[in-house]
Amino acid sequence: MGVLDGKVYGDFGRLGAGARGARSGDGLARRAKGLVKCYLRLGKHKLSALVTYTGAVGFVMGSAYSSDGLVDYEMLGWTSVGTALCAASANCLNQLYEIKRDAVMSRTNARPLPAGRVSKLHALGFAAVTGILGYGILDRKTDRTTASLGLANIALYAGVYTPLKVIHPINTWVGAVVGAIPPLMGWSAANAGDLSHTNAWLLGGALFVWQIPHFHALAALYAKDYTKGGYKMLAQSNPKLNARLGAWMAYTLLPLGPLAVHSHMTSPVFAVEALGLNLWMIRSAEKMLENPTSTVAARSCFRASITYLPLVLAALMIHKKTPKDVQPHEGEAKLTSSRPPAYTTVFASFPLLPCPSFLMQTSEEEGSGTETTTELEK
Give me the chain's average pLDDT, please: 85
Helix (H) or strand (E) holding 229: helix 223-229
> Residue 26's pLDDT band (boundaries 50, 70, 90)?
confident
Single out the residue of 76, 51, 63 nearest to residue 317, CA to CA: 63
pLDDT in tens, 108-133: 999 999 999 999 999 999 999 999 99
The three state secondary structure string of 319-353 is: CECCHHHCCCCCCCCCEEECCCCHHHHHCCCCCCC
Condensed to tens digits (0 to 9), the pLDDT of residues 35-50 reads 999 999 999 999 999 9
Q: Return the pLDDT at 74.
A: 97
**335 has pLDDT over 70:** no
Q: Is the pLDDT of residue 150 over 80?
A: yes
Looking at residue 366, its amino acid is E
Q: List pLDDT tens digits, range 60-89.
A: 999 999 988 899 999 999 999 999 999 999
Angle at 221 between CA 217 and CA 223, to 5 degrees: 110
Total-model pTM: 0.80
Residue whose C-alpha is closest to residue 270's, from 208, 321, 203: 321
**What CA–CA distance (Å, rounded) separates 147 from 163?**
24
Spell out the residues 6+ positions from residue 64 whose beta carbon is closer than 8 angstroms to its own: 320, 321, 322, 323
| Closest listed residue to residue 228, CA positions, set 68, 114, 362, 57 | 114
* Residue 324, pLDDT score: 72
Q: What is the per-residue pLDDT across 352-363, written as a single tens digit (0 to 9) for each?
A: 444 444 444 444
**How far is C-alpha 105 from the geometric centre of its chain's CA atoms?**
25
Q: Is the pLDDT of residue 17 over 90?
A: no
Q: What is the mean pLDDT of residues 276-302?
A: 97
Residue 252, pLDDT score: 97
Residue 349 has pLDDT above 60, yes or no: no
